[in-house]
Amino acid sequence: MGKAKRTRRFAEVKRLLNPNDSRLKSVQDKLKKKEEETEKNAVRNVPQVASSLFFKYNTALGPPYHILVDTNFINFSIQNKLELVQSMMDCLYAKSIPCITDCVMAELEKLGPKYRIALRVARDPRFERLPCLHKGTYADDCIVQRVTQHKCFIVATCDRDLKRRIRKIPGIPIMYISRRKYTIERLPEAYGAPL
């Protein structure tokens, strides 16, 4: 009798699972965590809007108007030979109080001697000074933060980025310079307001 040939039996070889197989518990846990994160990101917080905002206009805003002035608004007013307080009154047909924050004053002081006329205009006693309690002197963030907290201001600026940020806040009118006059956005009864 001869020896029987030994052959490999492939069926007896142990089959291994791929580490990325969906049947493994660790992979299932990772998938669950991903799903939970997407659910959290799907739910977003929308800040509650004041009841004084009727449609997109702020009905609580009335004369005398408090106008938050930005650095570049003062500069462009000087370039267009516009007297700030008088031109604001001409635009709004009411008494207007220009307000300037410490950040805007610091920004004007940083700009140096080239903007000394703008600094002199900003130091006018008719301007109301608003103290800042936050760190840093970035005026745009300061203005946006102040306007979101208190909806009693009109923002005067010619800066496109700041305008874009303020348009996202409901009920805040924006004053800007157009055709050598002050015009206002989102305040329907004002002179020169775009329709």
Tens of pLDDT, residue by residue over 89-139, are: 999 989 999 999 999 999 999 999 999 999 999 999 999 999 998 888 789
Under the banding of pLDDT at 50, 70 and 90, the label for residue 3 is low
Report if residue 174 sits inside a domain. Answer: yes
Under the banding of pLDDT at 50, 70 and 90, the label for residue 48 is confident
Q: What's the order of all strands across the beta sheet hosting 174-178? A: 128-130, 96-101, 65-69, 153-156, 174-178, 181-185
| Residues 6 or more apart in contact with residue 179 via CB below 8 angstroms | none
Specify the CATH number for the domain of residue 91. 3.40.50.1010
Report if residue 16 sits inside a domain. Answer: no
Report if residue 139 sits inside a domain. Answer: yes
Q: Which pair of structure tokens corresponds to residue 57?
A: 């206009």
Does pTM top 0.75 for this prediction?
no
Report if residue 191 sits inside a domain. Answer: no
Q: Which residues span the domain enclosing 167?
A: 62-185
Per residue in 163-191, pLDDT (tens digit) is 999 998 888 999 999 999 999 987 766 65
**What rounded mean pLDDT belongs to the chain?**
85
Are 103 and 139 a contacting pair, CB within 8 Å? yes
Above 90 in pLDDT, residue 141? yes
Report d(CA 14, CA 128) in Å as an integer.
83
Report d(CA 137, CA 28) in Å as an integer.
49
Report if residue 91 sits inside a domain. Answer: yes
Report if residue 47 sits inside a domain. Answer: no
Report d(CA 122, CA 147) in Å as an integer.
20
Above 70 in pLDDT, residue 144? yes
CA-based nearest residue to 121, from 103, 153, 98, 93: 98
Report if residue 149 sits inside a domain. Answer: yes
Overall number of domains in the chain: 1
Report if residue 163 sits inside a domain. Answer: yes
Are 55 and 65 a contacting pair, CB within 8 Å? no
Higher pLDDT pick, 13 / 107: 107
Q: Say what the pLDDT of residue 41 is.
A: 78
Q: Say what the pLDDT of residue 191 is.
A: 57
